[in-house]
Structures are given as C-alpha cells and as structure tokens.
Chains A and B, each alone.
Chain A
Amino acid sequence: MKTVLPFIAVVILMLLPLFGVTVAHQTQVFFGVIVPYAAVAVFVLGFIYRVVQWGKSPVPFCIPTTCGQQKSLPWIKQDKLENPVTTMQVVGRMFLEVLFFRSLFRNMKTEMKEGKAVYGSEKLLWLAGLAFHWSFLFIFVRHYRFFVQDVPAVIKMMEGADSFFQIGAPLFYMTDAVILGAVTFLLVRRVYLPQIRYISLAADFFPLFLILGIAITGILMRYFFKVHIVGVKQLAMGLVSLNPIIPQGIGAIFYVHLFLISILLMYFPFSKLMHMGGVFLSPTRNMANDSRIVRYINPWNYPVHVHTYEEYEDEFREKMKKAGLPVEKE
C-alpha cells in the first residue's frame, strides 16, 4: 500500500490537468497561473518557516560527528576535514558534504555470509544519489532559458555541454537520461531490497514517483508530443513578470508538467525534501569540534540558585561555634 498509494496519487495528479485543460479550456488559468503562483508562495514561505523553526530549537551540546584525528599536540597531524576546529575547516567539510555527499560515500552494507556478518563498502547509493542531484540541478538551472528574455551565456554553455553529442533534433540532453536512470535506481532499490522496503514509507515513494512524473512529462514534451514552445516561454515570462497570460495551443502535456512541479513545490516544505535546507542546519555537520578549546554553554541553562559554603557558614556560624564545629572565618 505504501508503494501503490503514492503511485495512484501521482497518476491522479497527472490526470487532473490533462482532463481539466482538454475538457474545459477555462481551467488553463487555474493550472497555468493560479496554481503556479500558489506553489511558489507556499514553497518560499514554507521553506523560510521551517528553517526559522529549526533555528529556534537550541542545540544543547557540541555534537559534531567526527571520524579523524582531533586537533591535539603539535606533532600529531590533525584531520582538518573530518575533525574541523575552525570555521573555515567546517566550511570545507560542509562544502564537500553538500556538493559531493562525503558522508554517504562511507556508506556500508552488512551481509550474513556463512553465519557471519560481513561488512563491505556500498558506493552505488552514493553514485546514484550524486547523479540524481547533479542532473536535477543541471536541469533546473537549464530551465532558466524560459525565465529570462536574453538568456545569459552561462545557461547557453550549460545547454551546449548537456547536448554535446548532438543526437537527434531537438538535441538530446544527457541529463535527461541520467535523471531517469538515477531516479529509477533509487526507486527500484526501495522496492527490491527487503530491509530498505521495510523502512520505506509512502512519504519516501511519493517524491520519487512525483519527480519521475516530472522528468517523464518533460522528456515526452521535448522529444515526442511537441508543445508550442514559444507559447510556453511566453506563459513563463508572463508569470515571472507578474503579467500572466495564457497563450493558446500550448498542449495539455505542458500543463501536466507544470502542475506536477507546482505540487512538488507545495509539498517541499512539509516533507523530507527539506533536507535541502536541513543539511546546512545539521549540528553533527556544521559544528566545529572545539569543545576542548572553547567553552560551550548549553542555551537551555537557566540561572540555578546556589547556596555556597561561605553563605551557609555566615548563616549558621554562631550555632556551629556553640556546637563546637570548626569554622573557616571567626
């Protein structure tokens, strides 16, 4: 059920704009203008809200997870990336974490072989994750050609690199194949491996199906069921210049693509996809391991009322003397 329900949900989300736009043309305004605006608003405000909520939670302890030599005596070599003590070292560590998933690179697998637990390295998840995230980023940035009048040279260069092999017309983008392969791998992994299937939830499958739907509609739109592409850019430019227009004859599949992206944007702040912001706020990653250099004060600490021995003696000095107890001050 946790696999089938998200799949059915995505199919319904695809059929809604498909039927809406083909049966009643008036719904083009809903799917082409109202939903995208709502989606961007929910995404931006929801994202900020989530990060502020995280910022409000105190981090009681200095808890970076490290796996290298801590800064110690001068002749012992410190592992600066795995055990950072300065802000710059933390930045270096975060940089590799965010861009190259360094901690996932250490991913291990455990198997029972001849009654013994055997540990081995498992790089496929790291590779597929990296391929997926990078191709998604590439595709996302490439789409800026729809949002600026004079497309910057950087975007054109990215497009040129992506369609380097000049296969077919319109030119085939490598990232289209990479993202399809990577998402399929991530999906099959959750279904095929019993342990992973056991811990997977509907909230794990839904974004995968959704992103797969977005990629497939995009690919279909580019190579197979062509849309009126100039109209698409006019719609996009209308949205971002706050003068929305609905050009006629764009093609229903574009509205499916746009609706799925709007759903993704709206779903984003309330889901595991918030790891995009969350990776920067992970205390185990973004803290320096300097607890022996800098005093770390728990923000939860509240002023505790203490009664020192001196105060105690001041209070009971006379009684202590009478009972013959030794006092420090006479």
Chain B
Amino acid sequence: MYNSGKIIAGLAVFFILATLPFLLNLGKANAKIEPSIDTPEINAMPVKHCVEPKAFMRSEHMQLLNTWRDEVVRNGNRIYVGSDGNEYGISLQNGCMKCHSNKKEFCDKCHNYMAVVPYCWSCHIAPKENKS
C-alpha cells in the first residue's frame, strides 16, 4: 500500500467514528425507563385513568399540551372533552401536575433519558419536590 501511514491513520479515525456508539457503551447495561405513577392522588383513584388512554398520552401528550396552551391562551377555553366523553379542566399546574405531582419521577424520567427539554417551565412554576 502507498502512503500507508496516512491511510491507516485516516482509517483508524474512520473506525473510531463509525463505531463510536459501540465504544461509548462498552460493558454498560441498558437502563429500564418507566415513568412512575406512584403519587397519593393517583393511588386514591378507584380507576386509574388520565384524560386519554395511556398509549395516546405516551406518544401524543406534547401535542395535546401544545393544543391546550393555544386553546387557553388564545381562545380562553379551559374545558377539554376526552375521548371517553368526560370533561376535564385544562390546566398544567392544577390539572396535570395535581395527579402527576412527581415531576422528577414522571416527566423528567423520560425527558432526561431522551434529552428532551420541554419549555413548559420557562413560564409555569414547576412543582416543589423534596430533593431525594
């Protein structure tokens, strides 16, 4: 091979870059990520349910919250009719966070894992939690 020094150095850089995800996770275990719904408010519910089914909330909650914000701020509409026909009050701090009072174990669990930084709390006041 001609210019083997330079070519091998270049290939070494390529190899490290191409396999970087594998190198970074050598011998590391895959963390199990499950948001906790263990709060007094939820435990007191006879039938545990959110405003929409779990699968919908899991993938669509950001869009739902975004629509809710626009509904409240622009149209003043604070009532949401869920797909089960029940009416729910639209409020992040007094609605969502009343049941899910464990922001660290609920919201942050997945958001931190996925490196998502929602900008809810740049306007809303995040619930105070005991640092544990």
Residue of B nearest to A144 (CB): B21
Residue of A nearest to B7 (CB): A55
Residue of A nearest to B60 (CB): A226
> A166 vs B114: C-alpha distance in the bound complex, in angstroms?
18
What residues on A are CB-neighbors of B32 within 8 Å?
234
User: Would A43 and B62 be within 8 Å (CB), given that A51-B10, A55-B7 are in contact?
Assistant: no
> A180 vs B72: C-alpha distance in the bound complex, in angstroms?
34
Interface 1/0 per residue, B35-61 and A, CB below 8 Å: 000000000000000000001001110
What residues on B are CB-neighbors of A280 within 8 Å?
10
User: Would A168 and B59 be within 8 Å (CB), given that A51-B11, A245-B30, A280-B10 are in contact?
Assistant: no
What residues on B are CB-neighbors of A249 within 8 Å?
55
Asked if B117 and A149 sit within 8 Å, CB to CB, the answer is no
Q: Which of A51, A227, A240, A299 has the most CB of B within 10 A?
A: A240
Question: How many Å from the CB of A60 to the closest CB on chain B?
Answer: 11
What residues on A are CB-neighbors of B26 within 8 Å?
241
Asked if A58 and B2 sit within 8 Å, CB to CB, the answer is yes
Chain B binder among A104-112, A118-126, A154-162, A191-199 = A154-162
> A242 vs B32: C-alpha distance in the bound complex, in angstroms?
16
What residues on B are CB-neighbors of A38 within 8 Å?
none
What residues on A are CB-neighbors of B86 within 8 Å?
none
Chain B residues proximal to chain A, CB less than 8 Å:
1-4, 7, 10-11, 14-15, 18-22, 24-33, 55, 58-60, 62-63, 65-66, 110, 113-119
Interface flag for A47 (CB, 8 Å): yes
> A247 vs B130: C-alpha distance in the bound complex, in angstroms?
32
Interface flag for A74 (CB, 8 Å): no
Interface flag for A229 (CB, 8 Å): yes
What residues on B are CB-neighbors of A144 within 8 Å?
21
Interface flag for A317 (CB, 8 Å): no
User: Would A170 and B62 be within 8 Å (CB), given that A44-B19, A47-B18 are in contact?
Assistant: yes
Asked if A48 and B14 sit within 8 Å, CB to CB, the answer is yes
Asked if A233 and B114 sit within 8 Å, CB to CB, the answer is yes
Residue of B nearest to A226 (CB): B59
User: Would A147 and B21 be within 8 Å (CB), given that A156-B115, A227-B59, A238-B30 are in contact?
Assistant: yes
> A51 vs B3: C-alpha distance in the bound complex, in angstroms?
12
User: Would A228 and B63 be within 8 Å (CB), given that A144-B21, A241-B25 are in contact?
Assistant: no
Question: How many Å from the CB of B15 to the closest CB on chain A?
Answer: 7
Offer 20 A-B interface pairs, CB within 8 angstroms, sorted by A. Answer: A40-B18, A43-B18, A47-B18, A51-B7, A56-B1, A56-B2, A147-B24, A149-B113, A166-B119, A169-B62, A226-B59, A227-B59, A237-B30, A241-B26, A241-B27, A241-B29, A242-B25, A249-B55, A277-B14, A299-B2
What residues on B are CB-neighbors of A245 within 8 Å?
30
Residue of A nearest to B23 (CB): A240
Question: How many Å from the CB of A330 to the closest CB on chain B?
Answer: 49
What residues on A are CB-neighbors of B7 within 8 Å?
51-52, 55, 281
Question: How many Å from the CB of A110 to the closest CB on chain B?
Answer: 36
What would 7 more interface pairs be, CB under 8 Å, given A51-B10, A56-B1?
Answer: A48-B14, A52-B7, A55-B4, A149-B25, A149-B113, A159-B115, A230-B110
Asked if B21 and A240 sit within 8 Å, CB to CB, the answer is yes
Interface flag for A102 (CB, 8 Å): no
Asked if B59 and A229 sit within 8 Å, CB to CB, the answer is yes
> A151 vs B31: C-alpha distance in the bound complex, in angstroms?
14
> A249 vs B58: C-alpha distance in the bound complex, in angstroms?
11
